[in-house]
Structure 1
Amino acid sequence: MTPELDRLSRPSRAISRSISAENPTGGPGAGGAATEGPGAQAAGAMGRGWKISPCIEIAAGATATIAAIEGAGTIRHVWLTAAPHRAWRGSILRIYWEGEGEGKGKGEGEPAVEVPLGDFFCQGWNVFGQVSSATVAANPNGGLNCYWPMPFHHSARVTVENVSPDPMTLYYQVDYELDDDIPADALYFHAQWRRSNPVPRGEVHTLLDGLRGSGHYVGTYLAWGVNSPGWWGEGEVKFYFDGDTEFPTICGTGTEDYFGGAWNFDVPGTGYTAYTTPYLGLHQVLKPDGLYRSQQRFGMYRWHIPDPVRFHREMRATIQCLGSGPGDGNGLGYRYRPNSDDIASTVFFYLDAPSAAASLPPKPTFLSMEVD
C-alpha cells in the first residue's frame, strides 16, 4: 500500500476545507452561497446555489489572493484553469508561508513559490501538453492539478498576478486540511523559476543557486527551445551540495538520461517520442510548422520522489547546454558542441525555512515570456 493510501486507512483529527470562487474563505457550510458573480446570468432564475460564482477575472497588472488560510495544516491539491492559454506564461503563481510577504515573517518576506502559472504545471509554452504524473496532472484542455503536499504551521497565502496586458479568467480550487498535529520539523514546499534566453554559448543554465539550509530537492521541469540544428541534449545535470566546489557530488550522463529516456528520445522511424510516467517524462514535443513556429520546443519533467536529493547545509544545481554534431574523423561519429538554447526551468524543493530569499534569482521580466 502506498503512503497516500495507507494514510486514508488511519483515523485523523484533520479537518477538510476547500477554497474556490464558490467559497473564497474556505469556511464550513459556506460553499456555493454567492448571490452575484460571473455565472449569475447563466444561472438565470435557478438562483443561489447554482454556480453563481465559478471563477474570477484578474485585470491586467492586478494580483488576486486566491487562498488565505490561518492555522496549521497542509495544502493537498490545487486545481485551476485559466483563459486564454497565453495567460499560462503571462501570470505568476506565488505561495507564502507563515506570514512571509506581509511584513511579519521571520525571513525576507519572499514567496516560497514564484513561478509562471503554466510552468508550475509543466505547461511552459502556452500550448497544452498532457501530463500524467504522481504530483502534477495536466488534463484536456488545460485542467492543471498539483498534488505536492504543502504543510504549514500558522498560515498560508496563494496569489496569482496577471502580468499580461489583457484580463484573464481564472477557475481554481485549493483543497487543504486544518491539522494541529503538523510535525514541528516539517519542511516547507518551494518552487523557483529561471530562464536563460539564450544560454550564453559555452556556459551552463543554473537551475538553483545559493540555497542555504537543510532539505530535499524533489523535482525539475524544463521548457527547452532549440536554437541549433542537430541533437541538443548532451548536457549533464549536476547537483552540488554540502561543501562541493568545482565538482559536484551527483553528475548525470546526459539530458535525456536524466529524464529517464535514452538515445536522443529518438525511436527509429518515429523520431522524438513523447511519454509521461509517474516520476519522469518528455510530455511535450512541439515541432516547427513551416511558417511561424520555426524552432523545436520540448517540455520534460523529473520528480525525485523515490530518490530525493538530500542536502544539509547548501545546494546548487546546473544543466549544460550541450549538443553534438558530426565527428570529423574522431572515431566517435559525433563531436560535442556548446549550444545557445532557450531554457526555462522550474525546480521544486522542500526546505527547513518558509522563505529561501538568498537563493532567489534576479526578478525576471515576465512580460517577455510570451511564446505563442
Structure 2
Amino acid sequence: MENRGSKEETLYYMIEGWHGELADTDLYFHAAYRQEHPVQKGHAYTVIDGIEGKGIFAGISFAAGMNGHNTCWVEGEPKMYLDGDPYPTINYTGTEDYFCGSYAFGNDILLHKYQTFSGLYAGMYAILGNDSQEMYNGQQRFLLYRFHVKDPVYFHTSFRMTMDNLGWTGARYDDYTSVAYWYMEKPSRLSAGLPSDEEIIMK
C-alpha cells in the first residue's frame, strides 16, 4: 500500500493466514496495471505481455476515455496470443463484443443511447464525464470488466493480450487503462511498474 497524496492518512487492515501445504494443483493469483494515455494512433494497446510459464488468464478490468468527439470507439479487436503464437490464438470480433455488450452497448440503436449493465462475469457498469448517455457523445469515460470464469483461457508457456483502438472511422487516440488478472503455477514478477503520479490520472 502506497500513499501518493500530500496528506498523511491512517490505514487499518487485517491479514488472514493459513498454515499448511499447498496442493500441486493450487495456482498463484497475479494482477498487473497498464495504461496508455493516449493510445498511439494506429498501434494496438497492450493489456498484458511478458507472462512466461503455465497458467490461466482470468480476466480484465478496463477503462476507456474518449478524446475529442466520441464517434465510434468499439471496433477494436481484443487479441490473445498463447504459447508464442505469432498470430492471435483468440481474436474477438470487437471491443463491445468482448465485454458482452454488442451493438456498441446500445439499449436502443435507433435512439442512440448507451445502456450500462452489470453481469456476473461481464459488464459496463458506469459512464462518466458527461451527464448524457447519448451514443457517440464527446469526452465520455467507460468502465468495464470481463472475467473468464466459465471460459478460462489456458496457456502452457506464454500469454499476451492486446486491444485495438478503432472505430468506424479507423484508428483513434483514446485513453486506455486496464488491470489484467491471471493465475500461474509459480509466482512471477513483471518488470513493468506503476506510472508516476502525474501520468496515472485519466484526464
TM over 0.5, shorter chain: yes
Q: Find the partner of 1:261 among 93, 97, 101.
A: 101
- Asked whether 1:323 is paired with 2:167, we answer yes
Q: 1:371 to 1:342 in 2, by over 3 A?
A: closer
Alignment of 1:85-104 (within 5 A): none
Per-residue deviation, residues 143-172 of structure 1 (Å, max 9, x unmatched): xxxxxxxxxxxxxxxxx1011223345454
The higher relative CO (CA closer than 8 Å, separation ≥ 6) is in: 2
Q: Find the partner of 2:177 among 330, 344, 360.
A: 344
Letter of the 1:180 counterpart: G
Deviation at 1:179, TM superposition (A): 4.4
Alignment of 1:299-314 (within 5 A): 299-314=143-158
Per-residue deviation, residues 290-348 of structure 1 (Å, max 9, x unmatched): 9xxx7100100000011111100011110000011xxxxxxxxxxx4100000001000
SS for the counterpart of 2:104 is helix
Q: Find the partner of 1:225 among 65, 68, 76.
A: 65
| Structure 2 unmatched runs, 5+ | 133-137
Per-residue deviation, residues 245-300 of structure 1 (Å, max 9, x unmatched): 1x11100000010001110001223611111011000001114259xxx7100100
| Structure 1 unmatched runs, 5+ | 1-159, 325-335
Partner of 1:271: 113
**CA distance, structure 2, for counterparts of residue 222 and residue 203 of structure 1:** 18
Letter of the 2:196 counterpart: T
**CA distance, structure 1, for counterparts of residue 202 and residue 88 of structure 2:** 34
Partner of 2:52: 212
Instruction: Give the number of aligned pairs.
Output: 195
Q: Is the 8 A contact 2:175 2:202 kept in 1?
A: no
Q: 1:242 to 1:362 in 2, by over 3 A?
A: same
Letter of the 2:147 counterpart: W
Name which one, 1 or 2, has greater alpha-carbon Rg.
1
Deviation at 1:178, TM superposition (A): 1.4
Letter of the 1:167 counterpart: E
SS for the counterpart of 1:257 is helix
Partner of 2:141: 297
Per-residue deviation, residues 340-372 of structure 1 (Å, max 9, x unmatched): 000001000001222223xx3255213432358
Q: Is the 8 A contact 2:37 2:202 kept in 1?
A: no
TM-score by length of 2: 0.87
**CA distance, structure 2, for counterparts of residue 356 and residue 237 of structure 1:** 24
Q: 1:167 to 1:295 in 2, by over 3 A?
A: farther
TM-score by length of 1: 0.49
Alignment root-mean-square deviation, CA:
2.1
